[in-house]
Amino acid sequence: MVAMPVFATPEVQPDTISRTDTSSSMQAIEEIIISAFRLPANWLDISASVGYITQETLAKGVLLTPVEALNSVSGINMHHGSLNTNRLTIRGVGSRSPYSTYKIKAYFGDIPLTTGDGETTLEDLETSGVSKVEIIKGPTSTVYGAGLGGAIIFYPVFPTQDFIKIENTAGSFNTSKQTFSAGTTLKNASVYALLSNLEREGYRKNNRTTRKNFLVHSTLFKGDKVSASVLARLTKMKAFIPSSINRRMFEETPWKAANNWKEVKGFEDYTTGQAGISAKTNTGTLSNATVSVFGQFREADELRPFNKLVESSWAVGTRGNFQQAFKIDALGIKLVAGFEIFRETYKWGTFSNGEGSQLSDNKENRDYENFFIQGEITKVNKFNLSVGANLNRTRYRYLDSFLANGDQSGKHSYDPVVSQRLGINYKILKNLAVFSNLSHGFSPPTLEETLYPEGNINPNIKPEKGWNLEAGIKGNIGNWATFSASYYRMYVSDLLVARRTAEDAYVGVNAGRSVHPGLESFIQGFLTTPGAYPSVSFYANTTLANYHFTDFVDDGKDYSGNQLPGTTKFSGNVGLSFSVNETMDIKLSQHLSGKMPVNDLNSGYTDPYGVTNLNVVFHKNWNKLHFNLKAGANNILDVNHASMLAVNSPSFGGNAPRYFYPGNPRNYYLSVSIGFQNSGKHP
């Protein structure tokens, strides 16, 4: 396989980015550098579990969203209902959110993808514009606000050479996607730009999706002591909504849409954008400072069976950090301190589907500040001690402009939350390390949880809080394999429950506690001599877990001891790559999932399943011209499986509850790309 070029973010110089690559062109397992903690370090020196996804993984298959790649990381479960309906959980956190990702922070570069009340939208990211992904599992990072579930950092592409690339993809369910990307580098500047257009009818009825993406990432200036960069992203999506269905429809007619959504031709139509500028100064060989200013907006309409929702939001913020490193005898000391300030205004209103009369008119201001400090003491090839703390202050102010039922305006300010982290990493051998960490995290309530169904402020709601304890081992086996294994236990208190009272009404309560124990393992490497053809590489990971309520009484019902809905006790991924020669690669992979309870009562479960994918790539270089042909089949065994659950879906009017989002049956794709660049390598 032809090696991909190395990209980097402004915070890390290109020559420091490394990765583990199982392509046969590699001569050995390469060093892995983790940048998520703002103190770039070798993977073996980090006292935490950090998942990483390389650009090679993102480029394989027909990744219309990051779902497939994220699902390949142990401890992560990405529920995928459709191109616009997904829910990411990390170690069981966020599993009880009905339709979206909550309690997990996400960033694209330095720009937050997470709203002021903790909702994260990942499905509209264009994977072609991402150079790598790092996933911090659990509340082990103080630099991102100590989110209870963790943090995901998407690093934008940063070109190191001039190139132009055009890619066209066709697939089942009338899928069509066109992508154009280009990059140029000057002496002290660079520009990367991407345009993409996606159209898909979808497997199910009322499932058509169109999505357009624009991305630009530019280094405005790069000097010895000062550099600046700008990042801008725009997405336009319209997606019709088939919604979840009951078990009988899931088993007999999974391609159908829920009747009420089909009848009104329900859809979601939105435009969203983010932009930011970062400046970095190197005040010395061992110190630097970075400050970023960002803004974002979202305009959306959603036609639903019960009403039409109109939304708009805009936010501004700033993020900065200062790093200092120095030595005392044989010890190296690194310090990073910083802040993140976020201001968001969210407006929403509902209208009747018939005459279009207004039913509600609301606005909420969401403000928070994070201040963090983290220090690390290291001894080369021996140990790493990490200590950190984060201070968060969150406030909501709600304004009710629809006064037919009285003025429900109010505000809610939460007490400041201090989250701590202590981690240690010790190298037993040069390529073998053990680690452990103890950390605290929290997650603020969502919009639905802060308000009663009639719209007034819920004064008793509190953030979820939790402690995480983890221990593990990781290392390299010679020059042919990398492995890790860890055991963790997370204790969550003030468990937030969105108690559903109607199809579009919730009441938030702090109803109890849960515990999240799990065992993760991972290995990847070569089965043949690296660098020789034919070459065979592999990867495998598993998660064994038992996320359950320890003390949970809701509405008079005791759920203590029950498994958290939407979680499984077993999940795993295995893959085998076969490089025939320098121009042809074949990859076979399988995602495995155990059964999942559909509700808090554990009265029903999904069936366990395994989805198998096949990917074949042919690539060829002619001097500065590069040709790439990808073909593949997903779910080649045609397994009927639930790719997402609407957990705790209620039953109304005597109808069966609609828990299930059917996964796609067997489907195919073909992708052709042509690239031109000055070095003759893959762009």
Q: Cβ of 336: how many Cβ atoms within 10 Å?
A: 21
- What's the token pair of residue 65? 């969203």
Q: Under 8 Å CB-to-CB from 329, ≥6 apart: which residues?
A: none
Beta strand pairing call for 76-82 and 85-90: antiparallel
Write the DSSP symbol of residue 152: E
Q: What is the DSSP string of 533-568?
A: SSEEEEEEEEEEE--EEEEEEETTEE-TTPBPTT--
Question: What are the distances in angstroms from CA 193 to CA 14, 430, 510?
Answer: 18, 41, 45
Distance, in Å, from the CA atom of 22 to the CA atom of 585, rounded to the nearest integer, reads 12
Q: Locate the DSSP E strands across 430-547.
A: 432-443, 464-477, 481-493, 496-502, 505-510, 512-526, 535-545
Q: Do residues 564 and 547 touch, judged by C-beta distance below 8 A?
A: yes
Block mean pLDDT (10 aa), the chain, length 683:
28 28 43 75 86 82 78 89 90 85 88 86 87 88 81 88 94 96 90 96 96 94 87 96 95 95 95 94 79 95 93 95 87 91 94 85 91 90 90 88 74 86 93 94 79 66 89 91 94 76 62 92 88 88 95 84 94 93 92 94 95 94 91 95 91 86 96 83 43
Q: Which residues pair with 99 in a beta bridge?
A: none
Q: Locate the DSSP E strands across 173-266.
A: 175-185, 190-200, 209-222, 226-240
Q: Locate the DSSP E strands across 528-659.
A: 535-545, 548-554, 557-558, 570-579, 584-593, 609-622, 625-634, 642-645
- The residue behind tokens 């992708």 is 671
**Per-residue pLDDT at 623:** 86
- What's the token pair of residue 241? 């909504």
Nearest Cα neighbor of 199 from 10, 64, 319 is 64
Beta strand pairing call for 105-108 and 150-156: parallel
Question: What are the distances in angstroms from CA 146 to CA 64, 227, 476, 547?
Answer: 30, 29, 30, 20
**Per-residue pLDDT at 24:** 34
Nearest Cα neighbor of 549 from 519, 599, 515, 598 is 515
**Per-residue pLDDT at 287:** 82
**Per-residue pLDDT at 660:** 96
- The residue behind tokens 């102010």 is 397
- The residue behind tokens 């066209």 is 168
**Per-residue pLDDT at 502:** 57
Alpha helix (H) residue ranges in 487-544: none
| CATH 2.40.170.20 for domain 14-677 | yes
**Per-residue pLDDT at 26:** 40
Q: Under 8 Å CB-to-CB from 354, ≥6 apart: which residues?
A: none
- The residue behind tokens 């911090």 is 136
Q: Is the peptide bond before 66 cis (omega within 30 degrees of 0)?
A: no
Query: What backbone phi and psi angles, to 5 degrees, belong to 129?
Result: -95, 10
Side-chain-facing half-sphere of 528: CA atoms under 13 Å: 16
Distance, in Å, from the CA atom of 36 to the CA atom of 191, rounded to the nearest integer, reads 23
